[in-house]
Amino acid sequence: MIDAEGPPPDSSETQADIAGPAADFRAFYERHAGWVYSLSLRMTADPVAAREAVQDVFVRAWRKAELYREGRAAGWLKKLTLRVLLNRARSDHRWTRRLDDHADLATLPAQAGEGIEDRLALEAAIRALPKGARTVVVLHDVEGYSMSEVATHMGTAVGTVKSQLHRGRRLLREALED
């Protein structure tokens, strides 16, 4: 299990932040919001849940103003994002539902490398995976975490991660190539 946040901020820290690092925070948000949202959307398979996760992440990040002011927040933000998403995954049953296929169209970057239809098919296939397999496929195959890192983040055994990964890949292969 990861503990990205460390101790909760005290009230003086919150008050200091309110004094106004909005410009820094905006730059911080613009630098990181794309990947936080991408990861959230792929792991939740739900635009509403993804938006809530992004809100959750950045509201917490605001309380750690010293990190983004000093530009050393990327690693910490990644851990925080994973923590928020994995905690929500344990309780949020909405993540198991499928979405309308067009729900992501507005958010797809215009410069997507492969054809838009292939890209949509791949995103839809990821979205349709069972939650456990989807989480592992996104973290390992898309985000590049090792199996042991994924196991640590999820608080589970490497063997379980591997099993979910193989299941997810098999389902993706069937969806994309059969």
Q: Which spans of this chain sit near another protein (rule: CB under 8 A)? A: 11, 14, 17-18, 22, 25-26, 29, 33-39, 41, 47-48, 51-52, 54-56, 58-60, 62-63, 91-94, 97, 100, 102-109, 111-114, 118-119, 122-123, 126, 137, 141-144, 162, 165-166, 169-170, 172-173, 176-177
The two tokens of residue 36 are 């936080």
Residues near 104 by Cβ (< 8 Å), separated by ≥ 6? 41, 47, 120, 123
Nearer Cβ to another protein, position 14 or 130? 14
Q: Are 67 and 31 in contact (CB under 8 A)?
A: no
CB of 93 to another protein, least distance (A): 6
Nearer Cβ to another protein, position 52 or 149? 52
108/131 Cα distance (integer angstroms): 22
Nearer Cβ to another protein, position 72 or 97? 97
CB of 122 to another protein, least distance (A): 6
CB of 72 to another protein, least distance (A): 19
Q: Are 77 and 84 in contact (CB under 8 A)?
A: no
168/173 Cα distance (integer angstroms): 9
